[in-house]
Structure 1
Amino acid sequence: MTTLTQPEPASAPQDPAPFLSVRDLHVRFATEDGTVKAVDGLSFGLERGRTLGIVGESGSGKSVANLAVLGLHNPRNTTISGEIILDGQELTRASERTLQKLRGRKMAMIFQDSLAALSPYYTVGRQIAEPYIKHLGASRKAARERAVEMLDKVGIPRARTRVDDYPHQFSGGMRQRAMIAMALVCDPALVIADEPTTALDVTVQAQILDLLKDLQRETGTAIIIITHDLGVVANITDDVMVMYAGRCIERGTVGEVLKTPGHPYTWGLLGSIPRLTAPVDVPLSPIPGAPPSLISPPPGCPFHPRCGLTGQVGGARCSTERPDIPEGARHSSACHLTPDQKRTIFTEQIQPRPR
């Protein structure tokens, strides 16, 4: 007699791990005044071919978190815990030699301060060519030609001549473009851009953003843009993460976060932007107060001392219970307000305000 057995149900296919995965990242600095909790349990992921915009006020942990990805913190006064995985390779416990092989070739950063990032002792062309020689084994002649090509791509006039100039011979905007060329020279798989268009006029800014888009289309680069400019976020990013006090307080696609934001802090950021359609006599709506101390952050929701909606939550939850972003939610925010309350407040109170 043959016994029929039911086949086991096929397991649901699991989503592949993202190209960059950051899980429960903590970055702390030891100072004379106490321990600075610069990044406090940050988690996010990024796929190849997508751009993530990270926004928030100065001191929210945006740059600190991404410097940790590249392993650029001083280990003598920095404690890093959590998990950072780039293309299957764990970075938080990687040796400095391993990180040096990855920096410039597989991941690169465009720094905000071009004057500090470029050495005054070497020509701009030599500094751009150096990673090309180191990581790809190119000859000095080929690397020089690549440096000329990159300077031309980022809009430096007479690139073949200016390649032999020193940083002090470049204007601030030209130094910024040269630094972008240095970061992109090896076509890295991950590019972290920290305010890459700060010192540039709007025309060159558009050229740089187009250059990043072209690089992404050609090579599938994953890009992180750290910025205060929500116009840049709207123009180039696919996903947005809003940071406050070292934590992610809202995340989602760029359309979701900018059109239907769910956190009072995000509402405040959007309300601080001048609008061409707003009446000239209507003032902006700045966020009251100042960002909290990261040595002794407030209990509960870190934004509650500046939030005008704590009374709608009820009780003392905002000051005693820290809200977290739900796992697996595509668009979510760390706030005790219910989804219905957020929807009602935004559509009836926040959105109608002239801005």
Structure 2
Amino acid sequence: MSTPFLSVSDLRVHFSTEDGIVKAVDGLSFDLEKGKTLGIVGESGSGKSVTNLAILGLHNRERTTLDGEILLDGQELLTASERTLEKLRGNKMSMIFQDALASLSPYHKVGVQIAETYRKHTGCSKKEARARAIEMLRRVGIPQPDTRVDDYPHQFSGGMRQRAMIAMALVCDPELLIADEPTTALDVTVQAQIMDLLKDLQQEFGTAIIFITHDLGVIADIADDVLVMYGGRCVERGTKKQVLSTPDHPYTLGLLNSMPSLDGPVDVPLSPIPGSPPSLLNPPSGCRFHPRCSFAEKVADGLCSAERPALEVAEGRGSACHLTPDQKRELFADIAGTRHN
């Protein structure tokens, strides 16, 4: 069996605050192969972005406790020096942030910002870096890149700024690309264009992609495998088809039931998940989803609130739930998961 390009094992990211320790990520493991896309989905505060900032080494280590292991092509990242991480960031691994306007400097031309990244990692001349910036703007579909390379971010539309961010992230041909909700706040047409662009570029470069989102519709479009996070933990993982067609955890089921169907009856009411995500400063005991789970009462002896369910994974498929397989088949029978596939 081949070694995965990215391997995250028992990752824990805890923040020290005046009120106590925030367990933002609490024992997370997953693997990612080259050329594949892993979709990480969950509500705000589930630990998605925190996980990927840990991979990039962007947490403040003075206030953050990082435990576990992150291997990128065999290289350990959690214990790597800042100098080593600086060489890797933007070069071997890169990230597209959610808010392109906030991520791009308003004081520098777009082309200069893309070229600066390329020069830092290659040591090339300004002329070569500018030519590379124009090439990347053309590759991501920016019209008239020879001219737009000298524009400032505010002169770009939202979709064009996001494309420029993608150009900057890919300028050094990284082997790992982390996309943190890159289509948020874009209209659906531009969203589709960005998704198609990422898939085309992945096919061209063979890049491994981690795609963070709260939108299962986006996951259905781009991901090969899916990891569902809740309360800083993975509650379910599997292939896209497995997770979206036959969910194996009540939280995943709740996410699917809260989404409108494009091909189903328009008058079917949505079923939002009751309650709010847990406080990671003082999380619930046992299964962190149990206070919001409509099936917790089906499990005997209050097991859901007393004991953390193990995430048992076989051939990439598994979930952390105390319900038996027979109970899941009976209780989840009404979901039409295939409408999301």
User: TM-score per shorter chain, which class?
Assistant: over 0.9
CA distance in 2 between counterparts of 1:203 and 1:160 reads 25
Q: 1:253-310: per-residue Cα shift (whole Å, max 9, x none)?
A: 0000000010000000001111133433332100000000000000000000000101
CA distance in 2 between counterparts of 1:122 and 1:63 reads 27
Match of 1:153 among 136, 139, 161: 139
Aligned pairs for 1:29-108 (under 5 A) are 29-108=15-94
In structure 2, what is the equivalent of residue 19 of structure 1? 5
CA positional deviation for 1:210: 2.3
CA distance in 1 between counterparts of 2:155 and 2:203 reads 33
CA distance in 1 between counterparts of 2:202 and 2:336 reads 34
Q: 1:59-91: per-residue Cα shift (whole Å, max 9, x none)?
A: 000000000000001112111111000001000
Q: 1:180-238: per-residue Cα shift (whole Å, max 9, x none)?
A: 11001111000000011123333332332222222222232111000122222111111
Match of 1:216 among 170, 193, 202: 202
CA positional deviation for 1:334: 0.3
Aligned pairs for 1:1-355 (under 5 A) are 15-347=1-333, 349-351=334-336
- AA paired with 2:272? P
SS of residue in 1 equivalent to 2:300: coil
- Contact kept? 2:99, 2:182, Cα under 8 Å: no
Consecutive unaligned residues in structure 2, runs of 5 or more: none
How many residues in Structure 1 have an aligned counterpart in Structure 2? 340
- Contact kept? 2:290, 2:296, Cα under 8 Å: yes
CA distance in 2 between counterparts of 1:142 and 1:85 reads 33
Q: 1:131-168: per-residue Cα shift (whole Å, max 9, x none)?
A: 21111222211211221122222232222111111122
- AA paired with 1:274? P
CA positional deviation for 1:329: 4.3
Change (3 A) 1:158 1:219: closer
CA distance in 2 between counterparts of 1:339 and 1:325 reads 14
- The RMSD of aligned alpha carbons is 1.8
Instruction: Please give the TM-score of this superposition, normalised by the length of structure 1.
Output: 0.92
Instruction: Please give the TM-score of this superposition, normalised by the length of structure 2.
Output: 0.95
- Contact kept? 1:173, 1:199, Cα under 8 Å: no
CA positional deviation for 1:47: 0.6
Change (3 A) 1:279 1:206: closer
Q: Larger Cα Rg: Structure 1 or Structure 2?
A: 1
CA distance in 2 between counterparts of 1:221 and 1:180 reads 13
